[in-house]
């Protein structure tokens, strides 16, 4: 029974598509079953839409100031939209903001790194999903977030 369960989990994990998007080459492994919005005019990233109302946004941007300044700006944007931030953490080259925005849960992870061309940039991963489907998405956030980066180059 354990082997069958382990095999099923490995097969499900292998079905998660890896996506590299935009001119920054931002990369993450996402749950399958989405449709993809067309790229924006500047080709910074993409939005992945799920039938249950969830969205995953994956994009890159130039590091214009410090990572701490970017974090403060993002925090301000969420708060001005009426969000309740319940998790706020940071390291030397990353930060995470998460909480509630109306009837949805949001999770933002930002990683500082380098594009394939060697330029300093930020990789962004934002999940936004209805509270009533959190049992599906909450357990996946760690693996999705840990896959965020640039490349493959």
pLDDT along the chain (153 residues), means of 10: 40 63 93 93 94 97 93 97 98 97 97 93 97 96 95 84
Give phi and psi for 100, each to the nearest 5. -120, 140
Q: How far apart are CA 71 and CA 111, in angstroms?
A: 11
For residue 82, the model assigns a pLDDT of 97
For residue 18, the model assigns a pLDDT of 84
Q: Which two tokens stand for residue 71?
A: 């974090």
For residue 5, the model assigns a pLDDT of 39
The three-class DSSP label of residue 89 is: strand
C-beta atoms surrounding 107 within 10 Å: 20
């Amino acid at each position: 029974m354990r082997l069958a369960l382990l095999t099923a989990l490995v097969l499900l994990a292998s079905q998660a598509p890896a996506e590299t998007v935009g001119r920054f080459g931002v990369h993450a492994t996402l749950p399958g079953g989405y449709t993809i919005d067309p790229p924006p005019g500047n080709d910074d990233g993409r939005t992945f839409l799920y039938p249950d109302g969830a969205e995953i946004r994956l994009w890159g941007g130039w590091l214009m100031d410090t990572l701490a300044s970017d974090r403060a700006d993002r925090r301000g944007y969420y708060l001005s939209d009426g969000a309740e931030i319940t998790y706020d953490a940071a390291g030397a080259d990353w930060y995470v903001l998460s909480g509630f925005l109306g009837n949805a849960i949001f999770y933002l992870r930002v990683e500082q790194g380098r594009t394939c061309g060697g330029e300093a940039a930020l990789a962004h991963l934002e999940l936004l999903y209805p509270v009533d489907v959190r049992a599906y998405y909450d357990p996946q956030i760690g693996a999705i977030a840990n896959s965020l980066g640039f490349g493959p180059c």
